[in-house]
Each structure stands twice: as structure tokens, then as C-alpha cells.
């Protein structure tokens, strides 16, 4: 039995959900999100909650049961609160600035890096050493943050680079004479 799948996803006030076939659509104050579940699960909307039940006792049905419930919970969280990833830039001369919808990164390369955020994601740079990625799609927010971080990952000797806020970077000792 899936411990996660057994729990129904509560719908807060201002959020509505509708199921048609294997597709669920969740509408909230921040937007509309949809999820298409596999044929291994059944989704039902009762009052202010969405419940997911498996069809059959196969291993795949039990796997999809918990995963589908989690995906629906993420849709509800996205349309109510949204998702946010914060990045820090460390290094001498490393900085970020917003120019319209483009993030301009100066990362010690021979050229500046220009990153245009995809539709549905908001990228801001409140300080020169901070980047905030926000949106209603958790997967897209995480992918944009990972793409930005990939330009200059934190290196283990001086710790320079782009890291997630609160990320621990294992430091190595340098050369010895």
C-alpha cells in the first residue's frame, strides 16, 4: 500500500480541479496546470479533495499511484504558492544583472553569458550576487536554475561559481610545497 497515495490532495479555497478521462486540470490564483496520468490509476474529485486509486494490484499500478498523487499535489502548490529557487554567485568579478527579460552573467569567461528565461518562468537578480527563479511549474523552475548553474559550477578549491542558496561545497586543500 502506498502511504503517499492513500492521502487525498486537499484543494484550498480559490482552487478548482476537473478530471476528464486521465487528464486533471487545476485552476488557481497563479494560473492553470494540467497533468495526464497513466491508465494504471483512477482520479476522482470529491468536494474539496482529489483522490487517486490504483487500477489493479500490479507493481506498475502501485508505483503510479503514489507518483500521480504527488504530481497532483505539486500542481495545487504551483497554482497557489508557486515554486522558487535561489542561486548565489561567489567569485571576484562574478555578477548577474537583468536586462529586460535577459539575464546577463559575467562569470570570468571571455564573453558575457546571456540567458533568456523560457515562458512561464520569472528570473530576477535582486543583487549582483543573487539570482531568483520563480514559476508555477516545479520541473521547469528546477531546470532553469540548473541551466544557469551549469555555466559555472562551484569549484572545490576556492568555492567560486554559481551555487544554490544554502548548498554545501566540499572544499579541498591546495598544493603543498
Asked whether the beta carbons of 44 and 71 are under 8 A apart, the reply is no
| 16-27 confidence digits (pLDDT tens) | 999 999 999 999
Angle between helices 59-80 and 138-149 (to 10 degrees): 80
Instruction: Please report the domains of the chain, with CATH numbers, ordered by start residue.
Output: 3-80 (3.90.930.12), 83-164 (3.90.930.12)
pLDDT (0 to 100) of residue 47: 85
Give me the mean pLDDT over the 84-91 stretch: 94
pLDDT (0 to 100) of residue 114: 94
Is the confidence at residue 67, as pLDDT, over 70? Answer: yes
Smallest Cα–Cα separation from 89: which of 171, 152, 28, 6?
152
pLDDT (0 to 100) of residue 1: 62
| 94-113 confidence digits (pLDDT tens) | 999 999 889 999 999 999 99
Give me the mean pLDDT over the 122-141 stretch: 94
Give me the mean pLDDT over the 114-123 stretch: 93
For the chain, the average pLDDT equals 92
CA-to-CA dists, residue 132 to 74, 112, 124, 165, 166, angstroms: 20, 19, 5, 10, 13
Amino acid at each position: 500500500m502506498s502511504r503517499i497515495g492513500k492521502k487525498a490532495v486537499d484543494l484550498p479555497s480559490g482552487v478548482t480541479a476537473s478530471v476528464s478521462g486521465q487528464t486533471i486540470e487545476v485552476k488557481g490564483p497563479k494560473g492553470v496546470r494540467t497533468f495526464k496520468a497513466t491508465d494504471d490509476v483512477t482520479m476522482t474529485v470529491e468536494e474539496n479533495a482529489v483522490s487517486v486509486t490504483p487500477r489493479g494490484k500490479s507493481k506498475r499500478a502501485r508505483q503510479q499511484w503514489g507518483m500521480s498523487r504527488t504530481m497532483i499535489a505539486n500542481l495545487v502548490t504551483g497554482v497557489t504558492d508557486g515554486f522558487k529557487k535561489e542561486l548565489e554567485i561567489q567569485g571576484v568579478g562574478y555578477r548577474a544583472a537583468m536586462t529586460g527579460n535577459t539575464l546577463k552573467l559575467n562569470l570570468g569567461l571571455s564573453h558575457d553569458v546571456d540567458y533568456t528565461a523560457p515562458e512561464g518562468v520569472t528570473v530576477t537578480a535582486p543583487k549582483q550576487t543573487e539570482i531568483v527563479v520563480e514559476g508555477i511549474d516545479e520541473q521547469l523552475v528546477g531546470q532553469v536554475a540548473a541551466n544557469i548553474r551549469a555555466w559555472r559550477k562551484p569549484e572545490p578549491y576556492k568555492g567560486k561559481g554559481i551555487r544554490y542558496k544554502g548548498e554545501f561545497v566540499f572544499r579541498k586543500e591546495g598544493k603543498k610545497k
